[in-house]
Amino acid sequence: MPGHEARVHIDVQDPAWRAVAGPRTILLASPRSFCAGVERAIDIVDELLRRRGAPIHVRKQIVHNTHVVGELEARGAVFVDDLDEVPSGSTLVFSAHGVSPAVRDTAAERGLEVVDATCPLVTKVHAEARRFAGRGDTVILIGHEGHEEVEGTFGEAPEHTVLVQTADEVATLDVPDPSRVSYLTQTTLAVDETVEVIAALRKRFPQLRGPASEDICYATTNRQDALRAIAEEADLVLVVGSANSSNSVRLVELAQRCGTAAARIEDVGELRPEWLDGVGVVGLTAGASAPPRLVDAVIEALGALGPVSVAQRETAHETIRFTLPPSARQ
Lowest model confidence (mean pLDDT) among 2-6, 55-59, 180-184: 2-6
In the chain, the amino acid numbered 70 is G
Question: What is the CATH classification number for the domain harbouring 85?
Answer: 3.40.50.11270
- What's the length of the chain? 330
Mean pLDDT of 38-66: 98
Phi, psi for residue 262 in degrees, rounded to 5: -150, 150
Specify the 3-state DSSP secondary structure of 289. coil
Indicate whether 10 belongs to any domain: no
Indicate whether 138 belongs to any domain: yes
Band (pLDDT 50/70/90 cuts) for residue 2 is very low
Q: What distance in Å separates the CA atoms of residue 128 and residue 151, rounded to the nearest whole number? A: 15
Q: Which domain holds residue 249?
A: 15-34+218-314
Contact 100, 107 (CB under 8 A): no
Band (pLDDT 50/70/90 cuts) for residue 10 is confident
* Residue 187 known to bind ligand: yes
Span 56-115, pLDDT tens digits: 999 999 999 999 999 999 999 999 999 999 999 999 999 999 999 999 999 999 999 999
In the chain, the amino acid numbered 131 is R
Average pLDDT of the chain is: 96
* Residue 217 known to bind ligand: yes
Band (pLDDT 50/70/90 cuts) for residue 8 is low
pLDDT at 329 over 90: no
Mean pLDDT of 318-326: 96
Q: What's the confidence (pLDDT) of residue 246?
A: 97
Indicate whether 321 belongs to any domain: no
Q: How many structural domains does the chain have? A: 3
Report the percent of the chain where pLDDT is more than 70. 97
In the chain, the amino acid numbered 243 is A
Mean pLDDT of 193-217: 96
Q: What distance in Å separates the CA atoms of residue 112 and residue 100, rounded to the nearest whole number? A: 16
Instruction: Of 209, 140, 142, give the one whose Cα is nearest residue 179.
Output: 209
Buried b (16+ CB within 10 A) or exposed e, 273-292: bebbeebebbbbbbbbbbbe
Report the percent of the chain where pLDDT is more than 90. 95
Indicate whether 4 belongs to any domain: no
Answer yes or no: do 222 and 306 share one domain.
yes
User: Does the predicted model carry a pTM greater than 0.85?
Assistant: yes
Mean pLDDT of 136-153: 98
Q: What distance in Å separates the CA atoms of residue 324 and residue 41, rounded to the nearest whole number? A: 8
* Residue 64 known to bind ligand: yes
* Residue 30 known to bind ligand: no
Is 149 part of the annotated catalytic residue set? yes
Phi, psi for residue 164 in degrees, rounded to 5: -125, 135
Indicate whether 198 belongs to any domain: yes
Q: What's the confidence (pLDDT) of residue 206?
A: 97
Q: What's the confidence (pLDDT) of residue 6?
A: 40
Q: Of 149, 159, 214, 233, which residue is the catalytic one?
A: 149
Question: At which of 95, 118, 141 does a domain end?
Answer: 118
**Residue 203 CB neighbour total at 10 angstroms:** 12
Cα 5 off chain centre by: 21
Question: What is the CATH classification number for the domain harbouring 307?
Answer: 3.40.1010.20
Mean pLDDT of 302-317: 97
Contact 73, 1 (CB under 8 A): no
Mean pLDDT of 231-259: 97
Indicate whether 212 belongs to any domain: no
